[in-house]
Copies of this chain bind each other. A is one copy, B any other.
Amino acid sequence: MQLLEERIRKDGKVFPGNILKVDSFLNHQIDVRLLDQIGEEFLRLFAADRIDKILTIEASGIGIACITAQHFGVPVVFAKKTQTKNIAADVYTAKVESFTHGKVYDIIVSKEFLHPGERILLIDDFLAKGQALLGLIQLVRSAGAIPVGAGIAIEKGFQEGGELVRQTGIHLESLAIVESMGGDGSICFRH
């Protein structure tokens, strides 16, 4: 998606350790007009997949998921990262290792909100090592629902997540795939 690539080139910041910060428009400050264009693009890419519900993971996936859901006319469910006393015990759960935070956490979704046979589109802002997305796929399957597709804003193409998710056979669409980042702040995209 050219618009997103241009925005990453313009406002993304590259830091040592292959860190790409897009805090100014995607996951701390959010440009909701850009999200609207991302949502429109996801609808174009997944229009044939008859999506019943969008599933994301807190926190930075929620904005993209909600605005994308407006385009699809379906509800959003977001997986939570820790078990609070306000969550019923009756949940689907998966373990996820976080590259960013250097720890393992549980993701949970109430059994009320995932049902057998539902066609689920997974949405997230980033795909790097793929652990969060693989956890979501596992959650959806444990509910008997169908992880039809995954829509990602930015994939780090030099990490293994994209390959791992593509191996599952799920229809994966990443709107911008970063092939490499240079020490001078330059960014190359895969096309």
A residues in contact (CB < 8 Å) with B: 19, 21, 23-24, 28-32, 35-36, 58-60, 62-63, 65-67, 69-70, 75-78, 80, 84-87, 100-101, 109-110, 112-113
User: Contacts of A75 on B, CB cut-off 8 Å?
Assistant: 29-32
Subset of 12 A-B contacts with CB under 8 Å? A28-B77, A28-B78, A30-B77, A30-B78, A58-B58, A59-B59, A59-B62, A59-B80, A62-B66, A63-B63, A84-B100, A86-B100
The main secondary structure of chain A at its interface with chain B is mixed
Complex interface: chain B residues within 8 A of A63 (CB):
62-63, 65-66, 76, 78
> Of B32, B67, B77, B101, which contacts A29 at CB under 8 A?
B77
Residue of B whose beta carbon sits closest to that of A71:
B32
